[in-house]
Amino acid sequence: MSEMKDKDNKGGLTAPQEKSRREFLSEAASGTLTAAVVAGAGALLTGSDEAQAKATWGEWFQKNYRLMTDEEKKESIARLEKRYTEEFGKKTTVDGTPAQEGVLFGYALNIQKCIGCRRCVYACVKENNQSRDNPEIQWIRVLKMEKGNFLPENMDKGYPDPAGIQVGGNAYQNAGVVLEGEHYYEPEQVPEKDYFYFPMQCMQCEKPPCVKVCPVRTTYREPDGIVVIDYNWCIGCRMCVSACPYWARRFNWGAPNLPAEEMNPVTHYMGNRPRMQGVAEKCTFCIQRTRQGRYTACVEVCPVGARKFGNLLDPESEVRKILEKKRVFRLKAELNTYPKFFYFMD
């Protein structure tokens, strides 16, 4: 030690109060590094608000939900309940109720009755914890279309007009033309004269193309007919989004923006629990409600009773009666996807 002191003294590197250029540069470099460390650590930590960042270790490494044992399912659900409760500051339940025996859900929508008020859209957003802003995700889309002349007696007559899009066969006039910019229509009053409204959502196909293309089998059809997604197993490849012939799937390009005060704390693992960035989502027939014997939020909120929901296996159910008695339409029957969502007229 004394040798070192001597050496320093002999060397006379710096005067006590004066700094050499080397020292100055060294201090400047360490100062910059410290600032960078603080900034970097801050940058990494600020990401912790995202739902994905809050996922626990166990959540990252859990199995596909279908392959879990009952015990593992319980653990997974408990983990999620804890996380959502902390994240949103309210007691959140994650239901894992499986499909009931003897149930096959079906849905029917009266196209004549729909007034295009879009209450169903907003009820769905609220019930199913969809992202509110950037992006504003909606599982139900209501298209505003021109009525045209849609008479059954003209179905097999004449030729379509050259302009416009024909819906409903060879009607003499254009029908069902969606006008550019009319996807987010906001009239003072609905229904508007000369227009009809066409709500679209997941058709819960019995032979779903989205399920066929999923490379990791995270999406599948449950025995009660609902096509579900295990969000934790989804790799975000968007194959299902591309495969769906009804454009019913939505993709979380960014972390969903779900304000804590608007979050619905009654959730289902396969349904409306908060999603994360990079996963697909879609209508699940409000699985958290329907598996408890309740109607979907859109059925409940519809002011004109255009939406009907029930068990297709029950001959006395409303949806079966509609299938038997009403004029029922299906979209894209040629695809053989066997949707369980029907459009009908009185």
Q: Which one, of 242, 240, 228, lies nearest residue 275 by Cα?
A: 228
Closer to another protein by CB, 71 or 159: give it: 159
Which bin fits 33, alpha (ψ -120 to 50), beta or left (φ > 0)? alpha
Q: Which one, of 280, 184, 299, lies nearest residue 236 by Cα?
A: 280
Q: Which one, of 241, 239, 264, lies nearest residue 130 by Cα?
A: 264
Q: At its nearest, how many Å lie between another protein and the CB of residue 85?
A: 26
- Our finding on whether 24 is near another protein (CB under 8 A) is no
Q: Binding string, 202-241, against another protein, x = CB under 8 A?
A: ----xx-------------x-x-x---------------x
CB atoms under 10 Å from CB of 285, counted, come to: 27
- Our finding on whether 346 is near another protein (CB under 8 A) is no
| Cα–Cα distance, 263 to 236 (Å, whole number) | 23
For 264, phi then psi, to 5°, come to -85, 115
Structural tokens at position 74: 């319980």
- Our finding on whether 47 is near another protein (CB under 8 A) is yes
Number of residues this chain uses to bind another protein (CB under 8 A): 65
- Our finding on whether 329 is near another protein (CB under 8 A) is yes
> Measured between alpha carbons, how far is residue 34 from residues 38, 249, 330 in Å?
6, 46, 65
Instruction: Go through the chain and tell me how many residues it has.
Output: 346
- Our finding on whether 78 is near another protein (CB under 8 A) is no
Among 235, 260, 328, 346, binds another protein (CB under 8 A): 328
* Binding segment toward another protein, per CB under 8 A, in 64-72, 74-82, 286-294, 331-339: 331-339
- Our finding on whether 266 is near another protein (CB under 8 A) is no
> Measured between alpha carbons, how far is residue 192 from residues 111, 165, 180, 344 in Å?
14, 20, 17, 20
Site for another protein, rule CB under 8 A: 7-8, 10-13, 33, 36-37, 39-44, 46-47, 104, 106, 134-137, 141, 143, 145, 152, 155, 165-169, 176-178, 183, 198, 200, 206-207, 221, 223, 225, 241, 246-247, 250-251, 253-254, 312-313, 323-324, 327-333, 338, 340, 343
